[in-house]
Amino acid sequence: MSDWKPKLIASDMDGTLLRSDETVAPATLEQIEAWGADGVPFVLATGRPPRWMVGIREVIGTGTAVCCNGAVMLDLGAFEVTHERTVAPEVLQQITAGLRAAQPGTWFAVEYGLEFRHEPVYQPRWDVNAPGVAQATLEEMVSAPVAKLLARHEDLSREEFIALVDEVVGDLATVTNSSSDALVEISALGVSKATGLADVCAELGITAGDVVFFGDMPNDVEAFHWVREGGGRAVAMGNAHPDVLAAATDVTDTNDEDGVAVFLASLR
């Protein structure tokens, strides 16, 4: 694949495109702009909700962002949600009831559109007083479709909690995580960054074999499999989780060493 060139560049944000200080390296921006000038679009694929995309929009500008682990498509230029794949209320109710029964110390929050709602006892780590963020009862949160259900536990380890959620959720929805905390992200069944990127590719008339995708956390693994099986390049950052490294076709430098820029430069 020494002469292989992408027709689409896609990247996760935290731990991948962004340095630890949440900036994008000048070298990375130069590569994105250079490939863009050659007609190769750049797409973000992140677990972040749309409301967390304001800062990166100021850096990247226009384009598509696959948010909420594939559940939401965001037009960065217009800053409008163009499509959502949601979890139905009856599924939300079954999952939350099951988790609360199995582990009463589980607390919930939901993402939809540009909004975030959380139980009063749920402890958000970011955007505590930001616009669109408010408290709600669990009954209120599970009464309408949402893009993402978040479940958090303050006492269990990350591994214990993920195993618990996997067992309770089963085949009702898609479970993933992108945090070092006991925080689990739950999307509609079958929804992942892979499905979001597949939708983008379908609109552009390209395949997974045309894609280079960069990632670092378990919520990138499905997209890695999709890209790899299609013949594209699934590139793990040097700081990536072991599951991501195992699924990768290539490994680049860490996010703080501008690994995205280093790999893109090697393809030119």
Tens of pLDDT, residue by residue over 189-200, are: 999 999 999 999
- pLDDT: is 22 or 127 the higher one? 22
pLDDT at 52 over 90: no
How many helices (H) and strands (E) are present in the chain, helices listed first?
Answer: 9, 14
Q: What is the pLDDT of residues 241-265, one digit of tens each?
A: 999 999 999 999 999 999 999 999 9
- pTM to 2 decimal places: 0.87
Q: What is the pLDDT of residues 170-188, one digit of tens each?
A: 999 999 888 788 999 999 9
How far, CA to CA in Å, does 195 sit from each of 60, 70, 99, 179, 191?
Answer: 23, 6, 26, 21, 6
DSSP code per residue over 181-229: SSEEEEEETT-SHHHHHHHHHHHHT--GGGEEEEE-SGGGHHHHHHHHH
59-63, 127-131, 239-243, 255-259: least confidently modelled range: 127-131
Structure tokens at 105: 């110390």
d(CA 10, CA 32): 10
Question: For 30-59, what is the mean pLDDT?
Answer: 93
Q: Is residue 44 classed as helix, strand or coil in its secondary structure? A: strand
d(CA 214, CA 17): 8
